[in-house]
């Protein structure tokens, strides 16, 4: 992205106003328009030349999470819970690295991950004009959506062909801007170090989103290229003496999704329809998987990765819902919206924007009507299982790749295919018994929601109970086998058509409905929202105001804040915890799960300096996807790694205040002390601190 373009954007954004903006250490800022003014005013900090580029190049995007380079030899640090599914894939019933941890003392011992792609952001380009220019002025929603999607597919393909970089168009401000992000893609990634999950996730679900905390939620990978460690120019220096209470820090990572710029109607829709239904769904999975996991230790091992994600999501969504249901919160949103609409109504030059809020409301109304079909079939909530997802991808791959790139579903556009194919054919362990539990539970729920009047029910059930049918679908399918998936992938449409695999047949059976639901959603909801939000953004710009950052989009952002404790009722929660507290908390629970300690930690107690900071909190604005984001100081040095928010941070989806909301980090000093005194990881320490 050119400096010129950056400057234009910066100016534009400086004029915007939005709900509760810039009154706090708030925001997930674009690297193309950082909060320079706010940083100067609030923290007397001027962003140094090259500082942003260095952080951008040091940041690493994980699937669903964040990380950073921490050595010149391509060493990457992220959260254990971000890497856990890979650690899980590398484990067996005999060698359980999740339970026992893993450390490669030499490069030879590093374990190649079967299915892990890391992305490093190489450049950003504003393609708003091109994307919007592709939509004819008088196009209806369907035509507009088709034209826009075709243009995005084309931009991505051209970019990829001309640069060789993975190229993704990101929709910002719900549709006001489109930026092309180009990534270097790394697929040879090896596991270097993972502690026992028990210390990474000490306190388990009960302590998740709580503070004080005592978690070594870290793991290390190394990126390879041509079988050699990747040599990187940019990586984070480790600040060995750590960060101080009250110090300014920054968070560099990939927040996934927020809803802060939503209109009130849009928030009400999330409050009344989408979020409650999603929570019911996630609770269903939690109960089904917990009950199954508790039947045997091996079940527990197989289910734990799914369960972690589910329980985390459940807490997060309930927190979101409780915020949306707070009359005070909604009142503030409503007042802010009323003010902006009044300004628009009073200014004839903004007439084009006046109806935008009603258009958003229209879109949510359409959404309400379409969601059942969309969720059941396109999101496949009726057929939840990894193996069904494979089936769906194989069926669609054959169909989509036969079309011109511009006409394809976006996840099958040429620029997306390399990652997709690798994911499909990676030799990761799939547990059919676990798959059957998920499929059974979702089939039962599907039957309730689709209703027995639904003609598909007869075909899907094939005259069996959902229990028997789920068992039969899974036991009859070979999709747990990577070689079989590769065979179907390579065999193309013909192989799919001929396949007797019951899950392939199921995926084909429901695909018509799923595609129909998706098309309706993309045209009636998504495109309508894009157009309406673009108008609202224009109104914000014209009516003046402060800086505004776009809602999170799982693309690189910068947050800022200070290391700081908080008040909870009459109690003061200090910013830092120490190793001492870990042992105390375990003892309070008599060492019972999930407060038990790995034997290595029990043994190391006397060797550890118990006064070393273990975790800390800071007023950094974050959301899911930020997990594993490095926390750096003014000089860009590594001082911690974000792994959670406290309970108040559950409100971050729709708004942020720095009164109690806190980002929870593993302290850089705690990592060093653990590597030294618990894991005796001298080579790793030397690499980090040299």
**Candidate residues 36, 100, 268, 511; the one interacting with its own copies per rule CB under 8 A:** 268
- Binding test (CB under 8 A) with its own copies, winner from 227, 327, 346, 570: 327
SS (H, E, C) 564-592: CCEEECCEEECCEEEHHHHHHHHHHCCCC
Confirm or reject binding of residue 4 to its own copies (CB under 8 A): no
Tokens of 585: 């908390």
Tell the smallest beta-carbon distance from residue 285 to its own copies (Å).
Answer: 10
Interaction of residue 451 with its own copies, rule CB under 8 A: yes
Of the candidate residues 461, 538, 542, 573, the single one contacting its own copies (CB under 8 A): 461
Structure-block tokens of residue 618:
């800071």
Site for its own copies in 581-620 (CB under 8 A): 588-590, 592-594
Q: Considering only CA atoms, which of 633, 634, 684 is closest in space to residue 242?
A: 633
CB atoms within 10 A of CB 445: 20
Cβ within 8 Å of residue 287, ≥6 positions away: none
Residue 20 CA, distance from chain mean position = 24
Cα distances from 73 to residues 149, 228, 266, 290, 353, in angstroms, run 39, 9, 46, 40, 52
Distance separating the N- and C-terminal Cα atoms of the chain: 34
- When the beta carbons of 200 and 537 are compared against its own copies, the nearer one is 200
Handedness of CA 570, 574, 575, 578 (dihedral sign): negative
Nearer to its own copies, 404 or 593 (CB): 593
569 binds its own copies (CB under 8 A): no
CA distance 519 to 285: 27
Binding test (CB under 8 A) with its own copies, winner from 35, 101, 466, 624: 466
- Based on the shown chain and the rule CB under 8 A, indicate whether residue 15 belongs to the binding site for its own copies: no
Among 93, 137, 328, 571, binds its own copies (CB under 8 A): 328
Among 464, 497, 512, 689, the residue binding its own copies under the rule CB under 8 A is 464
Applying CB under 8 A, which part among 119-127, 465-473, 546-554, 605-613 lies near its own copies?
465-473
Stretch in the footprint of its own copies (CB under 8 A) among 23-31, 68-76, 440-448, 541-549: 440-448
Cα 503–Cα 509–Cα 510 angle in degrees, nearest 5: 95
Q: Please, which residue, 348 or 569, has the CB nearer to its own copies?
A: 569
Q: Is 325 in the site for its own copies (CB under 8 A)?
A: yes
Does 241 engage in binding with its own copies (CB under 8 A)? no
Applying CB under 8 A, which of residues 92, 465, 475, 567 lies at the interface with its own copies?
465
CA 213, CA 646: separation in Å to the nearest integer?
9
Q: Which two tokens stand for residue 411?
A: 């996840």
In the shown chain, the binding pattern of residues 470 to 499 toward its own copies, with x for contact by CB under 8 A and - for none, equals: ------------------------------
Distance, CA of 554 to CA of 37 (rounded, Å): 24
Binding residues for its own copies, total number by CB under 8 A: 49
- Min. distance of Cβ 129 from its own copies in angstroms? 40
Q: Give min distance, CB of 302 to its own copies, in A.
A: 14
> Under the criterion CB under 8 A, does residue 448 sit at the interface with its own copies?
yes
Residue 439's region, left for phi above 0, alpha for psi from -120 to 50, else beta, is alpha
Q: Closest separation between CB of residue 209 and its own copies, Å?
A: 10
Task: Report if residue 322 touches its own copies, rule: CB under 8 A.
Answer: yes
Q: Measure the CA–CA gap between 34 and 52, rounded to whole angstroms.
A: 9
Q: For the CB of residue 402, give the shortest distance to its own copies in the complex, in Å.
A: 37
Residue 403: partners with Cβ closer than 8 Å, 6 or more residues away: none
Considering the complex, what minimum distance in angstroms separates the CB of residue 445 from its own copies? 8
Which of 235/383 has CB closer to its own copies? Answer: 383
By CB under 8 A, which span of 5-13, 179-187, 277-285, 365-373 interacts with its own copies?
Answer: 277-285
Instruction: Say what angle helices 502-521 and 466-475 make with each other, to 10 degrees.
Output: 110
Measured at the alpha carbon of residue 435, what is the angle toward residues 430 and 412, in degrees to the nearest 5? Answer: 70
What's the min distance (Å) between Cβ of 94 and its own copies? 15
Contact set for its own copies, span 201-240 (CB under 8 A):
204-207
Q: How far is the CB of 400 from its own copies (least distance, A)?
A: 34
Q: How far is the CB of 308 from its own copies (least distance, A)?
A: 14
Q: Does 329 bind its own copies (CB under 8 A)?
A: yes
Distance separating alpha carbons of residues 652 and 664, to the nearest angstrom: 14
Residue 283 vs 515, nearer CB to its own copies: 283
Check binding of 94 to its own copies (CB under 8 A): no
Q: Does 271 bind its own copies (CB under 8 A)?
A: yes
CA dihedral 316, 319, 323, 326 (to 10 degrees): 160
Distance CA 25, CA 14 (A): 17
The nearest distance, CB 639 to its own copies, in angstroms, is: 30
Establish if 402 lies at the interface with its own copies (CB under 8 A): no
Instruction: List the interface residues with its own copies, window 279-308 (CB under 8 A).
Output: 280, 283-284, 286-287, 290-291, 294-297
100 binds its own copies (CB under 8 A): no
Binding mask 347-386 for its own copies (x = CB under 8 A): ----------------------------------------
Asked if residue 66 lies in contact with residue 556, where contact means CB atoms within 8 angstroms, the answer is no
Distance CA 349, CA 352 (A): 8
44: nearest Cα among 460, 490, 562, 420:
562
Q: How far is the CB of 360 from its own copies (least distance, A)?
A: 18
Whether the Cβ atoms of residue 97 and residue 90 lie closer than 8 Å to each other = yes
CB of 324 to its own copies, least distance (A): 9
Distance (Å, rounded) from C-alpha 667 to C-alpha 345?
Answer: 50
Nearest to 307 by CA among 326, 322, 325, 292: 292
Phi–psi pair at 362, nearest 5 degrees: -60, -45
Smallest distance from the beta carbon of 276 to its own copies, in angstroms? 4
Token reading at 281: 């769904």
Name the minimum Å distance from CB 566 to its own copies: 17
Whole-angstrom Cα distance, residue 115 to residue 268?
Answer: 39
**Which residue, 125 or 373, is less far from its own copies as judged by CB?**
373
The candidate with the shortest Cα–Cα distance to 224, out of 328, 107, 144, is 107
The structure tokens listed for 689 are 């601190």
Least distance (Å) between residue 270 CB and its own copies:
11
Residues 6+ apart with CB under 8 A from 162: none
Q: Which of residues 128-147 bind its own copies (CB under 8 A)?
A: none
460 or 489: CB nearest its own copies = 460
Q: Interface with its own copies by CB under 8 A: which residues?
A: 204-207, 268, 271-272, 276, 280, 283-284, 286-287, 290-291, 294-297, 314-315, 318, 321-323, 325-329, 444-445, 447-448, 451-452, 461, 463-468, 588-590, 592-594
């Amino acid at each position: 992205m050119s400096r010129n373009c950056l400057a234009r954007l910066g100016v534009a954004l400086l004029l915007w106003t939005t709900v509760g903006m810039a009154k706090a250490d708030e925001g997930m800022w674009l690297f193309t328009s950082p909060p320079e003014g706010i940083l100067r005013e609030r923290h007397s900090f001027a962003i140094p030349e090259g500082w942003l580029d260095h952080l951008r190049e040091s940041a690493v995007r994980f699937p669903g999470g964040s990380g950073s380079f921490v050595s010149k030899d391509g060493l990457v640090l992220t959260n254990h819970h971000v890497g856990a599914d890979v650690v899980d894939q590398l484990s067996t019933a005999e060698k359980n690295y999740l339970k026992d941890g893993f450390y490669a003392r030499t490069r030879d011992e590093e374990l190649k991950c079967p299915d892990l792609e890391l992305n490093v952001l190489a450049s950003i380009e504003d393609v708003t004009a091109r994307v919007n220019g592709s939509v004819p002025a008088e196009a209806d929603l369907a035509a507009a959506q088709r034209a826009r999607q075709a243009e995005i597919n084309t931009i991505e393909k051209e970019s990829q062909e001309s640069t060789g970089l993975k190229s993704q168009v990101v929709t910002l401000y719900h549709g006001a801007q489109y930026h092309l992000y180009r990534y270097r893609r790394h697929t040879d990634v090896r596991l270097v170090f993972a502690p026992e999950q028990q210390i990474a996730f000490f306190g388990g679900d009960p302590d998740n989103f709580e503070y004080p905390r005592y978690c070594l939620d870290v793991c290390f990978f190394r990126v390879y290229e041509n079988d050699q460690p990747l040599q990187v120019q940019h990586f984070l220096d480790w600040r060995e003496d750590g960060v101080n209470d009250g110090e300014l820090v920054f968070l560099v990572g990939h927040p996934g999704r927020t809803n802060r710029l939503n209109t009130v109607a849009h928030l009400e829709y999330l409050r009344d329809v989408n979020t409650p239904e999603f929570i019911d769904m996630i609770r269903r999975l939690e109960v089904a998987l917990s009950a199954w996991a508790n039947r045997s230790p091996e079940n527990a091992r197989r289910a734990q990765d799914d369960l972690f994600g589910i329980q985390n999501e459940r807490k997060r969504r309930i927190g979101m819902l409780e915020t949306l249901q707070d009359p005070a919160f909604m009142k503030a949103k409503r007042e802010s919206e009323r003010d902006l609409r009044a300004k628009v109504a009073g200014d004839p030059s903004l007439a084009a924007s006046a109806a935008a809020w009603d258009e958003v409301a229209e879109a949510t109304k359409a959404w309400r009507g379409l969601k059942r079909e969309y969720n059941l079939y396109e999101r496949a909530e009726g057929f939840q299982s990894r193996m069904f997802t494979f089936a769906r991808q194989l069926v669609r791959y054959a169909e989509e790749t036969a079309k011109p790139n511009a006409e394809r579903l976006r996840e099958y556009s040429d620029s997306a295919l390399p990652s997709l194919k690798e994911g499909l054919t990676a030799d990761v362990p799939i547990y059919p018994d676990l798959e059957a539990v998920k499929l059974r539970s979702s089939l039962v729920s599907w039957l309730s929601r689709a209703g027995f009047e639904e003609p598909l029910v007869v075909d899907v059930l094939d005259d069996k109970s959902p229990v028997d049918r789920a068992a039969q679908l899974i036991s009859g399918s070979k999709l747990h086998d990577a070689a079989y998936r590769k065979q179907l992938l390579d065999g193309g449409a013909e192989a799919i058509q001929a396949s007797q695999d019951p899950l392939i047949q199921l995926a084909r059976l429901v695909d018509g409905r799923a595609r129909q639901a998706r098309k309706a959603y993309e045209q009636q909801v998504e495109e309508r929202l894009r157009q309406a939000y673009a108008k609202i953004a224009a109104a914000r710009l014209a009516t003046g105001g402060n800086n505004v950052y776009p809602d999170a989009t799982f693309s690189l952002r910068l947050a800022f804040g200070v290391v700081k404790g908080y008040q909870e009722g009459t109690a003061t929660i200090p910013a830092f915890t120490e190793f001492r507290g870990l042992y105390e908390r375990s003892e309070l629970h008599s060492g019972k799960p999930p407060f038990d300690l790995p034997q290595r930690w029990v043994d190391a107690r006397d060797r550890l300096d118990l006064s070393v900071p273990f975790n800390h909190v800071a007023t950094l604005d974050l959301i899911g996807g930020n997990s594993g984001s490095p926390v750096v100081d003014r000089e860009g040095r590594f001082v911690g790694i974000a792994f959670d928010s406290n309970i108040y941070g559950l409100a971050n989806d729709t708004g942020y205040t720095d009164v109690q909301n806190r980002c929870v980090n593993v302290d850089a000093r705690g990592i060093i002390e653990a590597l030294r005194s618990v894991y005796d990881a001298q080579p790793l320490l030397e690499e980090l601190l040299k």
